[in-house]
Structure formats: structure tokens, C-alpha cells
Amino acid sequence: MPTANYPTSLDTTSTQVTPSSTTDLDASGYEHDQVHGAASTALIALETKLGISAAPAASASNNAFLEHSSGGTTGWTNTLTGATIAGATLSGAIVGADQIMSAVVHKDYSETVYAGGDTGATPTIDEANGNTQSWTLNNNATFALPADSGLQAGTALTLILTQDGTGSRTGAFQVNSATTNVKWAGGTAPTLTTTASRADIVCFVTFDGGATPTWYGFVAGQDFQ
């Protein structure tokens, strides 16, 4: 029998021995042997199924599961790697941590729409809030587009910009306090609709990302009313 709480290798019939009539306490060769024989067989089968873990389940974190490594060894983990998920239903948020998902077919999906509220004079656009954002122009606003080391190449933004009840608010777009890295067709930035309560939709995409990105802007539509 194992001498420690957790064996270092899978038990076999030599370590989980089935007693014989000569080793049976009552020498009947039946009940005592049968009980111990069944228990030994069950232990071997259980270890073969679950492997050998260096830690008990009580020490594992919440939602942990046994993961096989090699040689019949398993360990408690919260990280699923190298597995194929044949089908699942998500019941909570998933954080992708900027990892790649390939060959994905999306159906019936939507984007988070972040309500930025009033712009003030210097609104900052943070893609982490959502790639689609709505803002109300309550001042002449200079938008600071995202520029940081975590900005991924291929990031796209859609800004829904609505004049407040007063109107006549202007809008400009910068990267790192300069307009040089915001590119427009023909080299000319659009003039936002200034009529009160009217809206424009302006889109941006960056192909390089990072702390000094170039953003390409285009107008999806203006003077929505």
C-alpha cells in the first residue's frame, strides 16, 4: 500500500494487493478477501482514470479541474489548454486578452455601445470602453483618439456625435495632441453638422496600432435627424 497520502506513480496489483486465504485474518478465503480485493481493484481503476495529483481537491481554487500532463500525472488548474470545445453555451462575460481567434463564423452578434455623455472640450476616446461610442457635443471638442502600447493593429471605431440642444459645436480629431496622424480622404477633415440635435457618424481604423498609431477617418453619414 502507498506510504504517503498521494503516491508518486500509479498503483498496480502489487501495491494494491488482493489478500489470499493465507493472509486473510479469518482464513475463510471469502468475505475479508472479497472486500479488500474489491477495494484494491477500485483504487487502481480510480487512479487510472483520474491520474496522480500532488494536491487534494480541497486545496484547489474555485472552478478548478484536473488536467493531465504526462505519465499519469494530473494537477488542479483553472487554465484550459490544448483542448477542443465541441459546443458550449456561455452564461457570462469572456475576456479575450487580445488573443487571436481564427476561422470564426459569427452569427447574431452585436458590439457594445459606450455612452460617453457630454464631450466637454477635450474628450478622450478609449477603445477599451467599446468600439462603438456615442457622444453629445456640448462644447467645441477636440477628440483624442487612442494611442497606447496595448492598441491592436486593425482596431476600428465608430463615433456617433450628436449636437446638444444649442448646436454650433465644432469637432476635431487628434492623436498624441496632433492632427498629423489622423488621415482623411483628400487630406481634408470633415466639418461636423452644427444644427442643434443633429448627428454625424464618423469612423476610424488603424492598421499599425501601438503608442504612435495612424488613424484613417471617414464619414459614414451626416445630418441625421
What is the residue extent of each domain of the chain? 113-224
When mean pLDDT is compared across 14-18, 41-45, 145-149, the lowest value belongs to 14-18
Does this model's pTM top 0.85? My answer is no
How confident is residue 20, by pLDDT bands cut at 50, 70 and 90? low
From residue 161, alpha-carbon distances to 34, 60, 127 in Å are: 79, 49, 16
Q: What is the mean pLDDT of residues 19-38?
A: 56
Q: What is the pLDDT, as a whole number, of residue 217?
A: 98
Residue 115 Cα to chain centre, angstroms:
22
Q: CA-to-CA distance for 173 and 6, rounded, in angstroms?
A: 63
Q: What is the pLDDT, as a whole number, of residue 83?
A: 83
Q: CA-to-CA distance for 99 and 86, rounded, in angstroms?
A: 20
Phi (first) and psi of residue 182, to 5 degrees: -115, 115
Q: What is the pLDDT, as a whole number, of residue 85?
A: 87
**Contact, 19 vs 33, CB < 8 A?**
yes
Question: For residue 34, what is the enclosing H or E element?
Answer: helix 31-50
Show the cell assigned to 147. 494611442
Q: CA-to-CA distance for 80 and 109, rounded, in angstroms?
A: 25
Residue located via cell numbers 441625421: 224
Question: For residue 199, what is the enclosing H or E element?
Answer: strand 199-206
Q: What is the pLDDT, as a whole number, of residue 3?
A: 42
How confident is residue 151, by pLDDT bands cut at 50, 70 and 90? very high
Q: What is the pLDDT, as a whole number, of residue 60?
A: 76
Question: Residues for the chain: how many in total?
Answer: 225
Residue 14 Cα to chain centre, angstroms:
47
Q: What is the pLDDT, as a whole number, of residue 115?
A: 98
- In SS3 terms, 158-212 reads as EEEEEECCCCCCCEEEEECCECCCEEEHHHCCCCCCCCCCCEEEEEEEECCCCCC
